Amino acid sequence: MLTVAEALVVVADCVTVCPSIEVPCQDAWGMVLAEAVASDVDSPPCDRSVVDGYAVCSADLRDGRAELTVLEELPAGRLPKHAVTRGTAVRVMTGAAIPPGADAVVMVEHGQLLEDGRVRLPQAAATAGQNILRRAAAMSRGEVVMEAGRLLRPADVGLLAEAGHSRVRVVRRPTVAVLATGSELVPAWQKPGPAQIRNSNGAMLLAAVRQAGGVAIDLGIAIDEPEALRRCIKAGLECDVLVLSGGVSAGAWDLVPGILQALGVEQRFHKVRLKPGKPLWFGTLAGPQRSRLVFGLPGNPVSSFVCFELFVRPALAALAGRPAWQRPERTGRLTAGFRHRGDRPTYHPATAVPPADAQSNEPPLHYDVTPLDWQGSADQRTLARANALAIFPAGDGTYQVGDAIPLLLLD
Ligand code: AMP
Ligand code: MG
Residue type, 253: W
Distance 326 CA to ligand 2 centre (A): 29
Residue 180 and residue 203: Cα distance in Å, rounded?
A: 10
- 8 Å CB contact between 49 and 137: no
142: left (phi over 0), alpha (psi -120 to 50) or beta: left
Lowest mean pLDDT among 135-144, 265-274, 352-361: 352-361
Strand blocks (E) in 134-245: 144-146, 167-171, 175-181, 185-186, 197-198, 215-222, 241-245
| Pocket flag, ligand 1, residue 44 (CB < 6 Å) | no
Which ligand 1 atom lies nearest to the CA of residue 247? 3
Residue 376 DSSP label: -
pLDDT of residue 365: 78
pLDDT of residue 125: 76
> In sequence order, what are the beta bridge partners of 307?
none
- Does pLDDT of 118 surpass 90? yes
| Pocket flag, ligand 1, residue 199 (CB < 6 Å) | yes
Which of 186, 197, 306 is the best mutation target for the ligand 1 pocket, counting ligand atoms within 8 Å of the beta carbon and taking the most? 197
- Does pLDDT of 20 surpass 80? yes
Closest C-alpha among 247, 254, 259, 284 to residue 269: 284
Residue 392 DSSP label: E
What's the mean pLDDT in 293-306? 98
- Does pLDDT of 163 surpass 80? yes
pLDDT category at 269 given cuts 50, 70, 90 is: very high
pLDDT of residue 65: 86
Query: Coil, strand, or helix at residue 328?
Result: coil
Distance 135 CA to ligand 1 centre (A): 63
pLDDT of residue 358: 76
Residue 77 sits at φ, ψ, to 5 deg, of 95, -10
| Closest ligand, as measured to the CA of 249 | 1
Distance 349 CA to ligand 1 centre (A): 19
pLDDT category at 255 given cuts 50, 70, 90 is: very high
| Closest ligand, as measured to the CA of 281 | 1
Task: Supply the pTM of this predicted model.
Answer: 0.92
| Pocket flag, ligand 1, residue 66 (CB < 6 Å) | no
Checking DSSP bridges between strand 66-74 and strand 119-121, what pairing results, if any?
A: antiparallel
Which of 201, 303, 380 is the best mutation target for the ligand 1 pocket, counting ligand atoms within 8 Å of the beta carbon and taking the most? 201
pLDDT of residue 124: 74
Range 70-76, long-range pairs (CB < 8 A, 24+ positions): 70/117, 70/118, 70/119, 71/99, 74/99, 76/48
| Pocket flag, ligand 1, residue 202 (CB < 6 Å) | yes
Distance 299 CA to ligand 2 centre (A): 6
pLDDT category at 323 given cuts 50, 70, 90 is: confident
Range 305-310, long-range pairs (CB < 8 A, 24+ positions): 305/204, 305/208, 305/383, 306/274, 306/276, 306/277, 306/347, 306/389, 307/277, 307/280, 308/205, 308/208, 308/243, 309/208, 309/389, 309/408, 309/410, 310/4, 310/8, 310/274, 310/277, 310/347
What's the mean pLDDT in 107-132? 92
Residue 37 and residue 168: Cα distance in Å, rounded?
A: 9
What's the mean pLDDT in 246-275? 96
Closest C-alpha among 130, 125, 165 to residue 26: 165
Over pLDDT 70: what percentage of the chain? 100
> In sequence order, what are the beta bridge partners of 332?
367, 405
| Pocket flag, ligand 1, residue 276 (CB < 6 Å) | no
pLDDT tens column, 211-234:
999 999 999 999 999 999 999 999
Mean per-residue pLDDT of the chain? 95
Residue 164 and residue 384: Cα distance in Å, rounded?
A: 43
What's the mean pLDDT in 234-258? 96
Among protein residues, the one with the nearest Cα to ligand 1's atom 17 is: 299
| Closest ligand, as measured to the CA of 180 | 1
Distance 258 CA to ligand 2 centre (A): 14
391: left (phi over 0), alpha (psi -120 to 50) or beta: beta
Residue 319 DSSP label: H
- Does pLDDT of 172 surpass 80? yes
What's the mean pLDDT in 287-299? 94
- Does pLDDT of 123 surpass 80? no
pLDDT category at 310 given cuts 50, 70, 90 is: very high
| Pocket flag, ligand 1, residue 197 (CB < 6 Å) | yes
- Does pLDDT of 238 surpass 90? yes
pLDDT category at 82 given cuts 50, 70, 90 is: very high
- Does pLDDT of 325 surpass 90? no
- Domains of the chain listed by start with CATH number: 4-19+172-319 (3.40.980.10), 20-42+140-171 (3.90.105.10), 48-133 (2.170.190.11), 329-409 (2.40.340.10)
DSSP state string for 258-315: HHHHHTTPEEEEE-BS-BS-TT-EEEEE--SSSPEEEEEE-SSHHHHHHHIIIIIHHH
Residue type, 359: Q
Helices (H) and strands (E) in the chain, counts: 8, 27
Residue 375 and residue 46: Cα distance in Å, rounded?
A: 65
Query: Coil, strand, or helix at residue 383?
Result: helix
pLDDT tens column, 338-370:
999 999 999 999 999 988 877 777 777 799 999
339: left (phi over 0), alpha (psi -120 to 50) or beta: beta
pLDDT of residue 12: 96
| Closest ligand, as measured to the CA of 376 | 1
What's the mean pLDDT in 282-293? 94
